[in-house]
Amino acid sequence: MSSVEFDDTELRAVFQNIEEMLSPAGAVEFLQGSVVPHLQRRASDRFAAQGDDVSGSWAPLAPATWAWRTALGYEPFGPINVREGELERYVTGGSGAFSTTGQDEVVMDYPGGSPGGSLRDSLEGAQYGQKGSPGQPPRPVLAVGQQDAEMVLGALIPWTLGKITGGARTTLMGVSR
């Protein structure tokens, strides 16, 4: 009687890699390695351009704000949403906070953590504006859109293939790296 031997070592490694990739730890690895750097770049670009395709262009500062900024020793005309840099550092330097809400679910809070005091007030004022006199229009510093969703999907495919194959060159299941 003839027999066929099959070495399933490589196949077992692929299944192990898939299991690890689909775990909460795998999700956090992807989010930290791909999504957080993207959000940091987008936020940095948003501050530099004073708005973007998702947040919209930030409204210019009002003349009353020019006088107030000048009296406090800041540049009167901008940059917008930047005085001492605390809000910009918080938003562009966020590393994300991760939590699990179930066995297989991970939630990312960006920039992460809960800002307190004046930083919280600055963030809320930028995101939603402030009513009253003189008032402040919204100038969102945190925003994501279609381009960001496409980036996540675009990054997920090579990351997934790399995880499945263990980063090794293989032709298993027609995948070659």
- The residues spanned by each domain of the chain are 26-163
Dihedral in degrees, nearest 10, Cα atoms 151, 95, 116, 148: 0
Q: pLDDT tier at 20 (50, 70, 90 boundaries)? A: confident
Per-residue pLDDT of 108-146, as tens digits, reads 999 998 898 999 999 999 999 987 656 789 999 999 999
Q: What is the pLDDT of residue 134?
A: 65
**Are the C-beta atoms of 82 and 47 separated by less than 8 Å?**
yes
Q: Is the pLDDT of residue 171 over 60?
A: no
Return the number of other C-beta atoms located less than 10 Å from residue 126's C-beta: 21
Which residues make Cβ contacts (< 8 Å) with residue 83, sequence separation at least 6? 69, 72, 74
Question: Which pTM does this prediction carry?
Answer: 0.80
Per-residue pLDDT of 35-94, as tens digits, reads 999 999 999 999 999 999 999 999 999 898 899 899 999 988 889 999 889 999 999 999
**Are the C-beta atoms of 88 and 82 separated by less than 8 Å?**
yes
